[in-house]
């Protein structure tokens, strides 16, 4: 029987924990790190090794995944004094965080002199997709590294999309995706507030839109949690605001106008600035309802 593959996972939050759980298997020796001991405890109880730092993971694991909250943290975890760049075993680093093209390129350039290949590997599908194993997995980097990573990505998600051979290309694709979702979610809430103000039944509206040309993931996968009153989509306003900001920065660097998306971005920025950054995305409905003077509710 072949020796287990030594894999590391950094960041055991809403997205990271359910993804890392899918790597708990007899053919994997899993090493995990999170600054919160309580996040590592369930993994240690199931046979994973809880490590004291990112470099401790990279000292033990040849392949390491990272799912982290922002670019500053990602750079520190990769290249800082306790970063994976100093690890003795690491040969392949998969950056799953949404942190923008420039940050991913800096990390890749910092790892290259240590002969550590990097795959730019963000994911899409939200916490529900992470739990269900249905995430869309993106990849950009050296073809050999991308191929080596693919089987492990397919344990975590449903499909791998290869965007190119340069780290950063997958980041741009993820930002394109999140810009679309951010705009669709914001405009869906505004449109439904109009229907609600006019006295239309929200459940009938949703059924009609999803049968017609207005359908999107925002109406099929996001609005149902708003209408239910539960309003727990699973990701925060602050995270989407961060992603939209990165997307607009990328557009400016490419000299691409974003007239409509900039307008939608203002709504998410406003919500985050009003103390809602830590709240669920679906709570944006509260602002929209207040401005419209109408509740968006199902039966």
Which helix (H) or strand (E) segment holds residue 119: the answer is: strand 117-120
pTM exceeds 0.85: yes
3-class state of residue 28 by DSSP: strand
Split at pLDDT 50, 70, 90, the class of 234 is confident
Is 89 within 8 Å of 59 (Cβ atoms)?
yes
* Tens digits of residue pLDDT in 92-131: 999 999 999 999 999 999 999 999 999 999 999 988 899 9
Averaged pLDDT score across all residues of the chain: 96
197 is catalytic: no
Q: Which of 72, 88, 174, 242 is catalytic?
A: 174
Is 277 within 8 Å of 269 (Cβ atoms)?
no
Split at pLDDT 50, 70, 90, the class of 1 is low
Distance CA 181, CA 178 (A): 5
Which string of DSSP letters, residue by residue, matches 175-199?
HHHHHHHHHHHHHHHHHHHHHHHTT
Give the gyration radius of the chain's Cα atoms.
20
Angle (CA) 141 144 150, round 5°: 80
Distance CA 266, CA 19 (A): 32
Distance CA 179, CA 188 (A): 14
* Tens digits of residue pLDDT in 40-89: 999 999 999 999 999 999 999 999 999 999 999 999 999 999 999 999 99
């Amino acid at each position: 029987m072949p020796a287990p593959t030594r894999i590391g996972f950094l960041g055991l939050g809403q997205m990271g924990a359910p993804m890392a759980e899918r790597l708990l298997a007899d053919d994997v020796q899993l090493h995990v790190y999170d600054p919160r001991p309580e996040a590592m405890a369930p993994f240690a109880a199931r046979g994973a090794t809880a490590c004291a730092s990112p470099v401790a993971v990279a000292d033990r694991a040849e392949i390491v995944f990272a799912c982290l909250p922002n670019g500053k943290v990602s750079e520190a975890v990769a290249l800082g004094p306790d970063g994976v760049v100093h690890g003795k075993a690491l040969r392949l680093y998969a950056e799953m965080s949404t942190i923008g093209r420039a940050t991913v390129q800096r990390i890749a350039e910092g790892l290259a002199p240590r002969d550590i290949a990097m795959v730019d590997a963000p994911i899409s599908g939200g916490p529900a997709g992470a739990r269900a194993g249905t995430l869309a997995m993106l990849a950009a980097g050296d073809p050999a590294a991308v191929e080596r990573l693919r089987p492990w990505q397919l344990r975590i998600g449903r499909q791998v999309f290869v965007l190119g051979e340069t780290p950063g290309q997958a980041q741009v694709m993820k930002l394109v995706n999140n810009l679309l979702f951010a705009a669709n979610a914001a405009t869906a809430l505004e449109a439904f507030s109009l229907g609600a103000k006019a006295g239309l039944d929200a459940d009938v509206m949703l059924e009609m839109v999803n049968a017609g040309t207005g359908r999107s993931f925002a109406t099929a996968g996001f609005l149902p949690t708003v209408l239910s009153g539960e309003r727990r989509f699973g990701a925060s306003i602050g995270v989407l605001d961060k992603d939209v900001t990165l997307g607009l920065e990328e557009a400016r660097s490419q000299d691409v106008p974003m007239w409509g998306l900039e307008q939608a971005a203002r709504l998410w920025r406003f919500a985050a600035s009003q103390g809602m950054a830590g709240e669920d995305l679906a709570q944006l409905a509260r602002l929209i309802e207040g401005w419209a003077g109408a509740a968006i509710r199902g039966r």
